[in-house]
Amino acid sequence: MSVKVGDSVSEGTVIAISSDAADAADDLSQDAVQVAPETVSETDVVVATRDAVVDRDSVVAATEPATDEHGTADGLRATPLVRRLARDLEVDLVRVSGTGGKGRVTKQDLLAHYEGSIVTEHGTPSGMGIPPIPEIDFAKFGPVRTMPLSRIKKISGPHLHRSWLNVPHVTHNDEADITDLDAYRRELDAAAKEEGYRVTMLSFLLKAVASSLRTFPVVNSSLAGDELVLKDYVNIGVAVDTPDGLVVPVVKDVDRKGITELSRDLGDLSARARDGKLSAGDMQGATFTISSLGGIGGTAFTPIVNAPEVAILGVVRSKMAPVWNGIEFEPRLMLPLCLSYDHRVIDGALAARFTVHLAHLVGDVRRPVL
């Protein structure tokens, strides 16, 4: 220090000599300090601006030994502040490209690297700067076996990961009384068996969802920048469980078809999905998706929105439950409904209205076919 606390100095006056002053200067305001010319070898000179008053707390002490004008013993060029921030963020500075003088890594370089998509050594994006899960040698704890992922899971995995990271998911849960509808469905299914197809509850759900999407067109949209793309067609993807993983064939023009035609379409798509005979066109163009676990069980779940769609309906196994009818409790067959949606497009009130409307439709056997 060449001045004392409280001294007033003029522009150009030397106030301190620091071995890492050039690095510290990167983190101070450019109009508050200047870095001395490169003619200074082992040290750099901090120069005060006009009418500046020296304060002892403003002097930054070097915390790491320097071996050259800008770097340190490990060969990296970065200020102590940047190094400390890199440690906090668990970022390896060797992987960060520096844009500062002589390749120095600045704070902006570090943050840009952190906020970008970090690619793991397997080539899978970890996304949004999230550190990858560390690899563990499980064989140290007991016998293990390895099994390669199926082709379907290799394709669907990155898409699900991308949707989960990019879409702010919220799930709204409700129930629908399907007592009367299921009785009617059983009558239709008995007749359909003789003709070689089945009528499942999913056929009625497709029809009811299509009607609901027409009533609430925002749920049948996609987000494109600052605009919503409202689709005047209704194609609904249906998640099908196959031995190799989940596939989502698309039933086209659902709003224009009846229960019989939808049932035949579902049977055809499901059979081809299980046999691995779906074409690319069979799995494209959906505006909404239904994922049904009704044949397996469960009480509720959170399906992942199939972006760029903005909502997906999950259904699980229906169950008999006591429902108050105003006079007494009576057993009713209740179907849980789980609507996951993109909160950037759909707010909670719209999600609730959509689900209540859907439950209202399937609650009366006459409404879904209207």
Compute how many other C-beta atoms are within 10 angstroms of the C-beta atom of residue 259. Answer: 18
* pLDDT band at 196; cut points 50, 70, 90: very high
Q: Is pLDDT at 294 greater than 90 in this prediction?
A: no
Which among 22, 24, 58, 66 is positioned nearest to 40, based on CA atoms? Answer: 22
Q: What pLDDT digit, counting tens, does each position of 313-354 carry?
A: 999 999 999 999 999 999 999 999 999 999 999 999 999 999
* pLDDT band at 63; cut points 50, 70, 90: very low
* pLDDT band at 17; cut points 50, 70, 90: low
Give me the percent of the chain exceeding a pLDDT of 70: 74
What is the overall mean pLDDT for the chain?
A: 81
Q: Which has more pLDDT, 226 or 54?
A: 226
Query: What's at 201, amino acid-wise?
Result: M
Q: Which of 161, 169, 343, 357 is catalytic?
A: 343
d(CA 289, CA 297): 19
Compute how many other C-beta atoms are within 10 angstroms of the C-beta atom of residue 258. Answer: 10
d(CA 156, CA 186): 35
pTM of the model: 0.66
Domains of the chain: residue spans and CATH: 154-362 (3.30.559.10)
Q: Is pLDDT at 120 greater than 60 in this prediction?
A: no
Residue 45 exposure: Cα atoms within 13 Å on the Cβ side: 14
The conformation of residue 120, written as its DSSP 8-state character, comes to P
Q: Is pLDDT at 124 greater than 90 in this prediction?
A: no
* pLDDT band at 75; cut points 50, 70, 90: low
Q: Is pLDDT at 141 greater than 70 in this prediction?
A: yes
Q: Which contiguous run of DSSP H or E holds residue 241?
A: strand 240-242
Q: Which contiguous run of DSSP H or E holds residue 114?
A: helix 107-115
Q: Is pLDDT at 10 greater than 80 in this prediction?
A: no
Q: Catalytic site residue 161? A: no
Encoding tokens for residue 130? 């999230």
Which among 44, 76, 46, 78 is positioned nearest to 59, based on CA atoms? Answer: 46
Averaged over 116-145, what is the pLDDT?
71
pLDDT of the residue at 103 = 84
169-177 vs 319-324, strand pairing mode:
unpaired
- Cis amide linkage into residue 134, ω under 30° from 0: no
Q: Is pLDDT at 302 greater than 70 in this prediction?
A: yes
